[in-house]
Structure 1
Amino acid sequence: MPQADPAATDGTLDVTTEPPSRRGLVGVSAGVAAGLLAGAAGTYAATRADGHTGASATGAPSLADISGQVPFRGAHQAGIITPAQDRMHFVALDVITDDADVLRDLLTAWTAAAERMTYGAEAAPGGSVGGGPYKVPTDTGEALDLPPSGLTVTIGYGPSLFDKRFGLADRKPAALQELPGFVGDDLDPAKSGGDLCIQACANDPQVAVHAVRNLIRLGLGTVSVRWSQLGFGRTSSTSHTQKTPRNLFGFKDGTNNLMAEDGAALDEHVWIGAADVPGPAGWAAGGSYLVARRIRMHIEVWDRTNLQEQEDIFGRGKLEGQPLGQKKEFDTIDFAAKRMDGQPAIPAVSHIALAHSSNLDGVRILRRGYNFTDGSDGQGHLDAGLFFIAFMRDAHKQFVPMQRALAAKDVLNEYIEHTGSALFLCPPGLADNQDWGTQLFAS
């Protein structure tokens, strides 16, 4: 039987030809279930339109079918450079205990449950029915008949977790500080901040929701939900194997995003280096900072705006996604290009001009956002927009200057408002026999 590639780490999709459902793994131990899945893997390779199959020569992730399994362990957490799945469930939580041992035990339990769910098993042995009729099920059961669906579970820690409650103050990286306010922010405290976050991404929304639901269930009495967000229709590509998606304004988003295959660029812009976290904070090396921003889009106003103004706001064509003045999406951006009337083809206050690395002293980030629609606002308008997620090496050196430039001049601000904000440290990936509790507490 073919074996899984042992080098498949850091979120590489490890696809099974016939991935078992959770029903088929009821009562199976974690190690046995992982072995079953790994033993069936390795015979399928994703095929791009250009005929390329599998991972690149650099070991970057490949895009695979929706039922694939993403390895849970590796040098970096899955769900960062993993090819972006179609659905996301994000939750921020507050820790409601002051007992460090209770928190450490929960993180350990979360590790086991998350790993099981990413390879298609229930959250715990016994699951939804194995304990018998007089015991509370250890899995909620709504994903029983579903395959892994590319599920990734990524954990992050907010600045507030490193206060005096748990003895973690000396392990807090210096860059893990709350984000400043920006011009035009209309932040709702109930949709901002948090001690912890969990990002679950999958190609089936029920699989993502099931993962978060079961982790919250395990945390009853230790954590409480501060806020959450469901997302659909990824708004950025994180691999060259993916086409650029569109946001709810109809424009391609994230054309020049950092990609999983760009190893040197990821080291420079995404992964925390050892020199960034000296002393007791060194445990965070190999991790990344996650910035989350809930951005409401004023859909109805945008839909009454003419096409030329829309394209000038973004600095790209709506149909092809090309930089204005060019023909194709990936054509080189030329900020010196002129229109027939002598005006710049790309306005200086366009989104693309203000956010481009050449105008930000080389600043780049890895975007991994999702669209959202949360019903109406009670006044006949859609409560919809972009749930912006980005990963970076230092949010205060990368995201903050970028957002300040956008907040000050971006004409897109007339159509959007930032209503939620948070910063989290996503720790490095886990080695064999390591869990989130021992990683955070060094024990």
Structure 2
Amino acid sequence: MTELEGIITNSLSRFKKENPLYFQPHTLEEWETIWDFANYDANIYNHGLHQYPARFIPQLVRKIIKTFTTANASVLDIFSGAGTTLLECKYMGIKKAYGIELNPFAIFMAQTKLQDLDDHIVISSLAEIEKSFFDENYSFPLISFKNIDFWYSKNAISGLSKLFDILSHIDDEMVKRFYLLVFCEISRKTSFLDHSGFKMYRSKLKIQRDFEPDIWIEFNKTAQRNIVLLKENNTYSSTNESTQTLIYGDSRIVHPEIPAHSIDLILTSPPYGDSKTTVAYGQYSRLPWQWLSQKDDIIQLDNNLLGGNIKRSDTTILNLSKKLKEQTDAIQTADNSKRVKDVIAFYNDLYETLISATHYIKQGGYFVLVTGNRTVKKVYLRTDIIITEFAETLGYSIEKIYSRKICNKRMALKNSPTNEKGKTVNTMMTENIIILKKC
């Protein structure tokens, strides 16, 4: 039995009294083979308060945390997104959990999901919100931001502006945050957005039908759903001494809030590629954040994420991965364009995040990455192999790579790896779980 198999086997006793909404392995074979979680609900408790692109599956997160940590551990997610890892650490009573995220809207979502909030107060507040919304004498300013008229009808702008003003005047900050997150969700639903993907396109069908959503119906429906989730969350959540620290910042740099060599487990899911051509986190978050902040700075977010700046396409990174060198050569041969620079820039940035992560992790600590392999110019990029080659240069041993089908993540079914009009292929349907150990 290998050391990893021993750790897995010893951890099985921790799953014996597992909540039925989560995974309960009984044998080493079950632990090693069941990764899909197709029959599990990813939107349990506060996890379901708002969707996010390529969001972590709670059952997967808990499985990894229960296997590689104890309650006294410190856990870090260097791409914390909507906060799934931190929320699971809170539920499990993990002593310290950290998350690093560069998307301000994702930070807002995670903060809202992590707060301790009395559902009775939330319910009583909804009646006051409704009363103000239907008060014809209620005075409010119209919100304005870049291209708002392109994405909304005049009636929707008016209704959303009124609702936003009402929510902004809620005295209880946690209740305000809860309802503003509901508002963020309907700000997408009530727009002209085509929701088949994460990039910003107007729906031709909505335009043709003069789409005029009922703002209150959409808000109330989403609020009622979230109240149910909050109630379930509060019956399950218990007071413990765990702490969760969110850091609004770049994972490519070291953050002093996280002590050096203090982390027992880093669990994360890096972007699959640069946001402009894979999952556009910034575009997905743009409208909600423009409403919340009345600023347009988020428009540039995708350019600031991994691979967003081709000026970072330093080819010395090719010396650290034989597979990356081989595949970028293939892309260059297939299409002599800047796409190869996009790819190199992405892996340069990804390597920098691994360097920073190595600063935090303890010797003997585990680093688990859930990744996907994408296709660029018909070249199937083996990010799993590239990461393991990078990791070896940083002093990690490669313990195991598992594969899982993507059953729950909201992703477009097709994309265009050649960027040629009308030529599409199926998007990635599997992910790899890479388990590294710091030597």
Short-chain TM bin: under 0.3
Higher relative contact order (CA 8 A, sep 6+): 1
TM-score of the two chains, using structure 2 as the length reference: 0.28
